[in-house]
Amino acid sequence: MKKSWLVTLVSVVIMAPMLLLAVSIKDNKADQQTINAVPDIKKLDPRSSEWGRYFPRQYDSYMKTRKSDEIKDVLKEEPALVVLWAGYGFSKDYNAPRGHFYALEDNINTLRTGAPVDAKTGPMPTACWTCKSPDVPRYIDKNGELDYYTGKWARLGGEIVNPIGCADCHDNKTMKLTVTRDYLPRGLDAEGTLKFAEASHQEMRTLVCAQCHAEYYFKKTEWTDKQGDKQVAAVVTFPWDNGLAAEDMEEYYDQRGFSDWTHQLSKTPMLKAQHPGYEMFVTGVHAKNGLSCADCHMPYVREGGVKYSSHKVGSPLENIADTCLNCHQGTEKEFRETVARKLERKNELSRAAMGVLAKAHLEAAKAWELGATEEEMKGALQDIRHGQWRWDFAIASHGSFFHAPEETLRVLGGAINKGQEARLKLRTVLAKYKAADYQAPDFSTKEKAQELIGLPFGKLVEEKKVFLDGLKSRWFEEGKAKGIYDPKSREGMQLKTSYN
């Protein structure tokens, strides 16, 4: 009896792991069958849920980008920005970026894109949709690049209805990484360090991000449409002909006499940096050691016997164990402290640059008011233009303080120097007009700064609410009627802004 009990116990000990292994193998086979299924996805299908039928893990992880849903009002934290961007859209509204899930929603809701009432009104060109949706390459494939870049932003409201998704970066048949915006290959080939046709798979894991996380401007391009009418397109263009450094692009813009806007107070022809993440990244130690964006922002994770790249694109600091500590030594606590020091140093120099440049704008405005001539102001305005460009270039990309801390601090140092040189020149002008002791007015809060530049904030908000209650909702109805809108792309979404 005792021997029989012992045999039974041994059998259970042996059989239990085998049964668990069999279940695991069965599950893995099911997973593998799903993975190996031939995807039946239309070319440039903007509906990510359709791709998710074949790649559920990648899709589910992408949908987790909606967890980054809090609105952070950057103008409230840094009121000097209102003065720096006086006369430009960013002085109205500027929030920290949220997850990819909200890219389209935030572009529509911000005060920067105005309150159009039809397809021909509003302040922004169609190019402002470019990095917000896979509907952009779909529309370009159907209608051509120059047609897409022509007209007002609101013209394409009923066409651009899905946020950043699978079709932005993947081929529908092979699932290989692909760049869907032609301005990136053109920019790379013009710069010359890396020819696009020669890019490796590892380099593509950065380039699919670079098509949106880079500096660009809207190049005016004349063309003739199908009806024979003359049109002007505002084509997204990378200013990389002279190189990828801040000074290289500054020279590019100066050579062409380009400016994004004329500053409302100082009358300086200004440059607005977009998000030069790629340019900063390639100067840093991670790029020089062969890492790609995806290595840290889309780490591989394992579920059972399946390994896949997480599409919850975000900060590596949210998952240090699976990202940073794959290469770095130490604890998570030590690593966070190191990163915090880098950020603190960047913020210190950035605030110094913002303060100097904001005062320079206000002092220039006073000089104009007193009767200064263009010749007297020329040198100071050039310093303001170059100083603000360098400050903006250093801070506009995500994580520059981490990707390339030395380059970030170098460029910020240059911005402060240029701002100080502008103020010295302006002191000479102000002294000539008996205002050597002029002190810039208070811009210590967002409200004070917006009042100082005469921004009609309340009026802008009321106009925007009319747009949100009307034209915005009609766009998604149009998208539904065309069969391009993916309802899951807005599932559970709530209206969140810094002004409502």
pLDDT tens digit sequence for 456-492:
999 999 999 999 999 999 999 999 999 999 999 999 9
Name the nearest CA neighbour of 119 among 149, 157, 87, 81: 157
pLDDT score, position 322:
85
Give residue 34's region: left, alpha or beta (phi > 0; psi -120 to 50). alpha
pLDDT tens for residues 330-367?
A: 899 999 999 999 999 999 999 999 999 999 999 999 99
Its pTM stands at 0.91
For residue 113, how many other CB atoms are within 10 A of its CB? 22
The yes-or-no verdict on residue 187 having pLDDT over 90 is: yes
- The yes-or-no verdict on residue 5 having pLDDT over 90 is no
Amino acid at 46: P
Q: Is the pLDDT of residue 1 over 80?
A: no
- Tokens linked to 40: 């039946």
CA 67 – CA 46 distance, rounded (Å): 21
Is residue 136 over pLDDT 80?
yes
For the segment 259-289, what is each residue's pLDDT rounded down to a tens digit? 999 999 999 999 999 999 999 999 999 999 9
pLDDT of residue 31: 56
pLDDT at 154 over 70: yes
pLDDT confidence of residue 404: 96
pLDDT given at position 374? 98
pLDDT of residue 244: 98
Quote the pLDDT of residue 210: 98
pLDDT one-digit tens code per residue, 18-57? 555 555 555 555 555 555 566 899 999 999 999 999 999 9
What is the predicted pLDDT for the residue at 304?
Answer: 85
With DSSP H G I counted as helix, E B as strand and the rest as coil, what are the percentages for the chain, rounded to 5? 55, 5, 35
pLDDT band, residue 147 (cuts 50/70/90): very high
Q: How confident is the model at residue 229 (pLDDT cuts 50, 70, 90)?
A: very high
DSSP strands (E only) in 276-403 = 300-303, 306-309
Give, to the nearest 10 degrees, the angle between helix 374-396 and helix 332-370. 160
Q: Are strands 217-224 and 269-270 parallel, antiparallel or unpaired?
A: unpaired
- How high is the pLDDT of residue 319? 87
Can you give the pLDDT at residue 349?
Answer: 98
Band the pLDDT of 252: cuts 50, 70, 90.
very high
Residues 395-419, mean pLDDT to the nearest whole number = 95
Asked if 499 contacts 113 with a C-beta cutoff of 8 angstroms, the reply is: no
Q: What is the pLDDT of residue 20?
A: 53
pLDDT at 207: 98
Long-range contacts of 370-377 (CB under 8 A, 24+ apart): 370/430, 370/433, 370/434, 370/435, 371/433, 372/429, 372/432, 372/433, 376/429, 376/432, 377/267, 377/429
Q: Quick one: average pLDDT of 144-151?
A: 98
Q: Which two tokens stand for residue 463?
A: 């106009």
Average pLDDT of the chain is 93
**Band of the pLDDT at 300, cuts 50, 70, 90?**
very high
Range name among 80-94, 110-124, 301-315, 470-484 with the lowest pLDDT average = 301-315
